[in-house]
């Protein structure tokens, strides 16, 4: 009977450990409504993504302008 209780306790403890690691409780904490960083935030790999253009169709407009310029050259008699 004791062996059964011990194995159940060990299984429950193991499941608790897995769930705790999956939820990130060990890496991040909440105190007083604030989410605090992990203790390893200084070693984190910081990624920087520069802001893109405001107008999302910049490449399309540039391609269309090049096409119009090329068509104007063709109409004038110059081959590209």
Q: What is the pLDDT along the chain (80 residues), one digit of tens a residue?
A: 677 777 777 777 776 666 655 555 556 667 788 888 777 778 878 888 888 878 889 999 999 999 999 999 999 988 66
**CA 36 to CA 27: how far, in whole Å?**
9
Categorise residue 77: left if φ over 0, alpha if ψ from -120 to 50, beta otherwise.
left
pTM: 0.35
pLDDT at 65: 97
């Amino acid at each position: 009977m004791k062996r059964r209780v011990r194995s159940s306790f060990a299984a429950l403890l193991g499941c608790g450990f897995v769930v705790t690691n999956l939820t990130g409780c060990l890496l991040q904490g909440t105190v007083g409504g604030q989410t605090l960083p992990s203790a390893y935030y200084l070693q984190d790999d910081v990624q920087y993504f520069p802001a893109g253009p405001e107008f999302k169709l910049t490449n399309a407009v540039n391609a269309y302008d090049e096409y119009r310029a090329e068509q104007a050259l063709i109409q004038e008699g110059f081959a590209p």
